[in-house]
Amino acid sequence: MTERLTIRRPDDWHVHLRDGDMLRLVAGHTARQFARAIIMPNLVPPVTEAATAAAYRDRILAALPEAAAFTPLMTCYLTDASDPAEIERGHAEGVWVAAKLYPAHATTNSAHGVSDIRALTGVLETMQRIGMPLLIHGEVTDPAIDIFDREAVFVERILAPLVRDYPALKIVLEHITTEEAASFVREAGPNLGATITPQHLHLNRNALFAGGLRPHAYCLPVVKRERHRLAVRAAAVSGSPKFFLGTDSAPHAIGRKEMDCGCAGIFNAPFALESYLAVFEEEGAIERFEGFASEHGARFYGLPLNEGTVTLAKGKATVPERVGDGALSVVPFHAGETLGWRFAG
């Protein structure tokens, strides 16, 4: 039986670090486990300009403990008014590595997102030419579509034509949750990849209603039926280079979750690697964990693999009920549970 697992230092290809006090509370958790992370731009107001992205990157670095060796990889929030020249300039200057497409009103702080993908033609042509990845929150926003079907409908109506029209554009379908998304990504060419969160590997939609209404299991895209969870698990542990780690750690203060209209998002950063590794162990695929956590994403983005290693050791890791204090406290994923591996540095 494996007692310790040492892997190349991993990266998180999708995380929300927020700003201000919340940034200071959560950033160290991500920097402790990951060498780099793709930082989501859905602040209020959103990060749409290179100068604001560079200033945000500085605030992230300032929020970290002195010794942290962590590189935030910044992203540009796309709107109907995004300017291809500004996106190209920010990319050439090394400010941002990717751009994020939020369909308007699809998720947290997406009100300024894209209302019609046809508005992005010039932007997407530019990104395709310069090799800048497009990251997508893949849900349609049509209220007539059942919320559990919004990802599958997005794949069919938006993603399939996009992949056809921009064959050389690198696209990441973020936080996939369905059999349809997993199989579409698997069957597509090498320019389409997907990130997978821990919660979509652990939870099915029963978790939302287990003994009562469970706001801390609520994120977007919402967790789906068991058959979808199993398909997403199979993709994660398959060894395919198209699937890689992206926690979508999305902290909201406890009062913003436990209310009559609670926010979407699960804060999984403190025990992210332990949570993923539990899944790979259950699936008998521990030997594929390093590829998923530390190799596939960097290769997809065309970035060097990290130097150095991290170690996880068999043993109890008890997840606290809260992280932080008072009004700022956040309930972490797996709160109150004991996981079977612990991060040993």
Ligand X SMILES: NC(=O)N[C@@H](CC(=O)O)C(=O)O
Of these partners, ligand X, Zn ion, none, which one is at the site of residue 265 (CB under 5 to 8 Å by kind)? ligand X
To ligand X, the closest distance from the beta carbon of 73 in angstroms equals: 16
To Zn ion, the closest distance from the beta carbon of 106 in angstroms equals: 7
Q: Given the complex with Zn ion, which of 127 and 173 has the nearer CB atom?
A: 173
3 state DSSP class of 341 = strand
Sole binder of ligand X in the list 264, 286, 328, 335 (CB under 6 A): 264
d(CA 340, CA 345): 16
Residue 179 binds Zn ion, judged by CB under 5 A: no
Sole binder of Zn ion in the list 12, 49, 180, 248 (CB under 5 A): 248
- List, as residue ranges, the binding site: 14, 16-18, 42, 100, 137, 175, 220, 248, 252, 264
SS3 content of the chain, % helix, strand, coil (to 5): 40, 20, 40
Which residues have CB under 8 Å from 73's CB, separation 6+? 36, 37, 38, 39, 96, 97, 98
Of these partners, Zn ion, ligand X, none, which one is at the site of residue 219 (CB under 5 to 8 Å by kind)? ligand X
Q: Given the complex with Zn ion, which of 78 and 312 has the nearer CB atom?
A: 78
Residue of 80, 142, 149, 248 marked catalytic:
248
Residue 42 binds ligand X, judged by CB under 6 A: yes
d(CA 270, CA 275): 10
> Which of 21, 78, 68 lies closest to 46, judged by CA?
78
Name all contacts of 300-303 with Cβ < 8 Å and 24+ positions apart: 300/133, 300/170, 300/172, 300/193, 300/241, 300/242, 300/244, 301/13, 301/97, 301/98, 301/133, 301/170, 302/131, 303/36, 303/97
Residue 202 binds ligand X, judged by CB under 6 A: no
To ligand X, the closest distance from the beta carbon of 207 in angstroms equals: 14
Sole binder of ligand X in the list 75, 79, 108, 191 (CB under 6 A): 108
Question: Half-sphere exposure of residue 271, counting CA atoms within 13 Å on the CB side?
Answer: 26
Judge contact between 8 and 295, C-beta under 8 A.
Answer: yes
Sole binder of ligand X in the list 11, 12, 151, 248 (CB under 6 A): 248
Residue 12 binds ligand X, judged by CB under 6 A: no
83 is catalytic: no
Residue with the two structure tokens 């079907």: 149
Binding site for ligand X (CB under 6 A): 16, 42, 107-108, 137, 219-220, 248, 250, 264-265
Annotated catalytic residues are 248
Binding site for Zn ion (CB under 5 A): 107, 137, 248
